Structures are given as C-alpha cells and as structure tokens.
Chains A and B, each alone.
Chain A
C-alpha cells in the first residue's frame, strides 16, 4: 500500500502522550485539539521526509546498522519488555508505536533496504561482521547452509528457476539467476535444481559466508580516477574475494559484536539519549508550530 510507511508518522509528532494527557487533565476546550492536530498536515510532504530521516530506527532499537535480523528481534523484545504499555502503562504507547514501526521495517528485507537507502546507509550492513543475512531472505529458520549462485559462471539458462521457482529468480538486468528466498522450496527440489545447472554455478555455502558473497556478487560502483574508471564491477572470483575481505574485516577491531550482550550503562544511556532526542525534536516542532498559528486562537479568547 502506497501510504504504508511514510504517512504513518504524520500523526506521531503531535500526539505525544505527554501532550495528550496534559490536555486531558486540564480539560482544555476543543480548540486545543486544533493546535494539537494542526501540526498534522503542517508536517506535510516536505517535512515528512526529514521526519523520517531524523528518526533513526537503528538507534531506537540500540542495534548497529549492520545487525542481523536476529539481533534486531532480540533488541526489540528486550525493549518491548521495558516499554510495552502492559508493563510501562499508557505512557509506553508512543514509544511502543515507534518500536513496532522500526521492527516492522528492519525485519523485512525490502523495507529495510528502502529505509537504508533513504538514510544513505546502503551496504553498511555488509561492511562489518560477516554473519549477516544477505540479500536473499530466509523462509523459516536460519540454517547452517545456504544456496548461492555464482553470477560470473551463470549462463542464465533458467534451469534452476524452472525447478525451484520459489527459491531462484532470474535477474533480467544482470542476465543471471540468483537466490531470492533461501529454502523457498523443499530440499528435494533444491537438490534437483542445483544438479540441473549445466555449469555448476549453484553452490551450497556456509551461512556465515553468504552475506559477504551476496554482497560481493552485486555489482559495486567502482571508484573512478580522473577520467578513467567509474561504472560498475564485481570481482571475477567471488569466493576468493570473500575470503580476502573477511580476512581484512577480521583484522579490524571488532567493536560491534557486543550489541546482543547485556547493555552497558553507557550504551543504555546512548540509546535513551537517541530516543529522547527524537522525542524532543518532535516536541520542539510541535511547540513552534503551536505558537505560529495557535497564538491567534488564544488571543481570540
């Protein structure tokens, strides 16, 4: 649905719970509603985009941008346990709405990619940590092995798509097959399709390698020098490239692996600050706008 993601935030800004209750308690007249919701369409189209950019789902959940869906899920559950209205009371409502939205987006590969793209975060998931789940999504639980199509070898015969249509798709732009859904078909079909490949370009790989391989097999923008270069490229031997890259990555200090461990006070504070910042920004926007055209209403009274 077209309006599923963006517009959903429009109402978030004005209906902050504190504001809401403040109005309820003081029993202000209906005109306060006007100010309250006056903001709704004020955020309009242009503001909507910036609103979305400001709200960092990763910070909200306290996970790194390259975290796996498992990490997102665990963080989501942990935060829900603290902030869900069942536990935190009605004031947890707004925060839980944010959490639900963040979770919904980050758990769905397509939405997450769009979100990453909108925040200029493309590909960061694959820079660090190789345990990521790659471009293909998983049907059912994550297993130890995964299917991978070596796009360099693939001749685009569509044989695998024919045998296991829920798993493989033909990427018409690149002219080769790739895995869309891991274990999208039953294992027998997967075996048949892997064997049916005339050039043996379908490989069973370790799950840990998959993210890197899928990342590397996507054509990458090539850095251009002067008038040369630019354009797109991908490594000729994706397996070797993956090995090299993972070696390089291991040499980098591993700083992000602690995300799923018990939160340190500093991390908790950082996350709280992030959500506080989001809230305060909304707050200030609300008040600014309320002043803008709300003043008139007050003066009339």
Chain B
C-alpha cells in the first residue's frame, strides 16, 4: 500500500438519496472510528470477523501523519516510536474536532494537543494544521478522517477481494446532526456510502441481542424480555443506553451521551502533574511540542498503571530544565478527575430515568470502551445499577465494531441459515428536534428517545396581525432556550394569507427515516380552508454549513421578532 488511491469521489452534501437498495447484495462493513483507536469488521458468512492490517493489528491507532508528500494514516504507516505521533506532524483526535466551531469548549481543550488548533472565537471552524518540515500545513478534520477511511477501505478491499462501498459507522450519542453530516462528508470523500450511523452503545446492544438469542436457542429457554444497561466510554466520548432485548430484537429505550472521555482524564492528569502546562506550551514551538509529547506519554502510562496499581511513580524529564518527580495514588487520581466521574454518574442516572427502568429490573450491565478498565468507572456503574458483576462475554474494545458489522449484514439483506442474523435494532432519537418560537424558546417536535422511524407534527401560528412571512429555525438539543441547542437550519415560509395574529395555522412536521435522514415540512392554511394557502415546503436538514455559529445571531439581528411563531392553542 505504497500509494493509497486518495480520490475524492464526491463533494456533495446530499449523499443519502440513493440509500434505497443496491443491485447486488453487497455486505456492508462495520467501522468503528474511535477517538484513539479504530477497527473494521465484516460478516464473513457465518460470523463477524475483524480485519487486520499488514502488521496483524485488529485495533489501529486513529491518526494521519503529514510527514511526506502523501499523508499516511494509522492503518498502513509504521511508527518507529510513539513519540512520532506527538511530533506535531500527526493529526489525531479528529472525532473530537469534527463538526465543531471555534467557540466550542471541546475545541479549546484540544489546543494543548501537539498539532496546531487555532481559534478566533467567532463561531467558525477552527484552524487545524500539522507541522511538516517546520511549516504548519493546514487541513480539516473531514480531510484527515477521509484519508484515514481511504486507508481502511483499501485494507478491507485487499482482504475481501471486492470493492467496498457501503459502510455502517458507529458514532457517539452526543453527536449533533451537523456533525453527522461531516462524518458523511468524510465518507463521501473516501468513496464510501454510509448505510447507517449507529450510536456506539446501540451497536453493542445489537451484539448483546444476538448473544442472548443464541443462549436462548442453546438452552431452549423462554425468550422473555431482558433489560440491559450499556455504558461505553472511550477516549473521546461517554455514552449510555438502555436496551430491551427479546427474540433478537434490540429496542433502545433511552440514550444519553456526553463529550467526556479518556482524553479529559488525560488532560486533567497532565494539569495535575504540571499545573502551568498551558502557559508553557502556548506558542507551539518545536521544543514545546516535544515536551508536550513526553508529558502526554508519561501521563498516559501512569493512568494505565493506576488501573492495576494503587499508586505510581511519575519520573520524567521534559527538557528545558523542567522535571516532574511525583507519586500519584489512586485517590488522588480520582479526586483530580472528579468532574469526569460525576458526569458519568449523571449520564447513567439520566438514562435509567428516561428509560423508566428500575435498577432491580436490569438483567445485565455491560461495560465497554477503553475507560472501562478504570476501577472507578467500574465501581460507579455497578454502584448505581446495584450489580455485583459486569456482563461477561463482551470484548471491551471490539463490541461496537462487531455490532456495526452485524447491522451492516442485516441492512444488506443477508440472512443466515442458523439464525445468527435474525436480528433487528430499533433505534431511538438521542436528542430532541424542534423549532424556535417566541424569540428564543425551543419547542421540541420530535422529543428525545422517540422510536425511529418517527414522524410528528405540531401546529403554530403567527404573532402579528397580517404577518405574511414566518421563519422556521430548526434546532436539536434539550435546552429550553435555543442558544443551548445545535442549529440545524432555517427556511422562510412566504405567502401566509393576511389575517389577525393567531389565526393562520402553520403545521410543521418532522420525519426521520431509518437511515436517520431528517425532513422538515411546513404547510400554511387558514382555519377551515380546503387546501394549503401556498405549496408545502419540504426541507432536508441540516442545511447549515461551516461557520453556522453566527447564523442564528445574524438572523436575529436582521429580522428580530418580525417573523416569529407561537404554538397554536388548539380549541377543543
């Protein structure tokens, strides 16, 4: 793989339209792009198999090195030493950066990474660059991800001896729809077509459903419903799901997720070991980058050792006369990361609450992801769920990709004579979707944890007399105020028949199909009218592009409340 075929097949935003059926049954592969590691799996006719790269690795580091003319990713490139990734020439953690604007706190935290993350704090995409021969060469998270995906694709094609087009990708629960479009964009750039995007814990849930079905078949037992909590925490994100499983069907009862993960634990520890680290590394000179790299590796190593030891000695020379010599024990580690663990706890509690499930009724608790090795994580999840033991039979690092490969086989229409693919995942929406009303209020039309596919509708009306235009601004999130939520897009309804305020009826309908495509429809009518006053608008969301951070503000400044809507109080 000296020269990966880096071809940008399509730069189109609308890649989802041909999502129907393919002419020949091609099995979609499952890809799990983790913040730190990534893997590929495929249904090989009798079971799911993880593909290995030329160095026999099933789990590959997620990074792209911009050292030579042709960038190389973690799939094919050979590292002489871990330090190389941290030399500034490699971009990693793209999953934490993709689809975020430069006012996002997650982007700000990433500024202490060895490569360059620059922010202007105005709501545009951050400037990201890799150090190549002492030059900061700019790139984007999408491009980095695409290069990486091309390598993965080439690897899979070589081994499966067929072209690969369809993929099922796992994603964090907390990704906004805008971020999903960025992932789809990266896939399109790599010539891949996204069949499904699965939140990571739901992929694990599907694997669990398969395992349960097999044990039921083996024991000839009853196929009664089993409730399970899945906690997945990797380097970048923490996700929780509650699934109800019976007969190979995994029904997602609730999802909860947040941008919190091993990376935060690592940063907290680095700050703990070297309190003024940010000031020391603010200018990203070559020496500084080297020091960051050394500190990062030492800290990572200490965290790993703290999973099995109760205290570790950190002894490292960062150069430039800065030396760290410290003993860190587990209590200290847990105290330093208290905010992370508290967030995890609240996610688990919230998910159980949303699922309306009592901890006593949980049949199993499943813990996956790299952070599940941390004793504190283990204890807090078992503590909340009042379970002595964690479900066995899940490979902590491979469960998600196996689930994605299963879904890939199911959606490709593959069936298995032994019933191993007699599976189905019934997904639900991780975030509420709604529109802006009365200035800055957010009203969800499809609430969180609605079973997909979903279609809901609400009626709205005008706020002024003879208002002929209305702005539909679509947001995603849970905040009562729109500022707290993600902007997905906006459009204007024109030609509302002149009438007193509160009279015209504006129906806004949202439709999400199984491949998670969101359509927003808006129709205007006067009460008692036989047909809509103007043609119905149908808009595929999200429509926002880069720099959407200030769109909402600009709309507000330009139009104020002149085109506002309120909910229509139904007269019964």
Chain A residues within CB distance 8 Å of chain B: 1-4, 7-8, 10-12, 15, 30-31, 33-34, 36-38, 40-42, 44, 73-74, 77-78, 80-81, 84-87, 89-90, 92-93, 96-97, 100, 103-104, 139-141, 293
Contact = CB atoms under 8 A, between A and B. Distances in A.
Contacts of B456: 4, 8
Nearest to B411: A86
A218 to B, nearest CB: 25
B535 interface: yes
Nearest to A101: B455
Contacts of B19: 90
Interface in B346-372: 357-358, 360-361
Interface centre among B247, B426, B532, B570 (most CB of A within 10 A): B426
Contacts of A84: 424, 426, 514
Given A34-B532, A36-B536, 17 more contacts: A1-B458, A10-B507, A11-B509, A11-B521, A31-B535, A40-B507, A41-B529, A74-B247, A77-B424, A80-B426, A81-B424, A86-B410, A86-B514, A97-B454, A140-B357, A140-B358, A140-B360
Contacts of B457: 3, 7-8, 10-11
A37 B536 contact: yes
Contact of B225 (A73, A89, A293): A73
Given A7-B507, A93-B514, A41 B422 contact: no
Q: Classify chain B's interface size.
A: 35 or more
B247 A77 contact: yes
Contacts of B225: 73, 141
Contact of A34 (B248, B459, B535): B535
Contacts of A38: 531-532, 536
Interface string B520-540: 010101001111100110100
5 contacts: A40-B532, A41-B531, A100-B453, A140-B357, A141-B361
Contacts of B562: none
Interface in B453-470: 453-459
A33 B521 CA distance: 11
B268 to A, nearest CB: 37
B249 interface: yes
Given A7-B507, A81-B424, A97-B455, A37 B361 contact: no
B505 interface: yes
A77 B528 CA distance: 40
Nearest to B519: A15
Contacts of A1: 458
B458 A7 contact: yes
Contact of B530 (A97, A100, A293): A293
A120 to B, nearest CB: 19
Nearest to B17: A24
Contact of B21 (A73, A89, A100, A103): A89
Contacts of B21: 89-90
Contact of A90 (B20, B425, B511): B20
List of 10 A-B pairs having minimum Cβ-Cβ separation, nearest first: A37-B536, A85-B514, A41-B525, A140-B361, A34-B535, A77-B249, A38-B531, A11-B509, A140-B358, A100-B451
A11 B455 contact: yes
Contacts of A3: 457-459, 570
Nearest to A85: B514
B246 interface: yes
A30 B457 CA distance: 22
Given A33-B535, A34-B536, A81-B422, A41 B507 contact: yes
Contacts of B453: 85, 93, 96-97, 100
B438 interface: no
A104 B358 contact: no
Contacts of A80: 249, 424, 426
Contacts of B151: none
B459 A81 contact: no
A90 B514 CA distance: 8
A293 B531 contact: yes
Contacts of B307: none
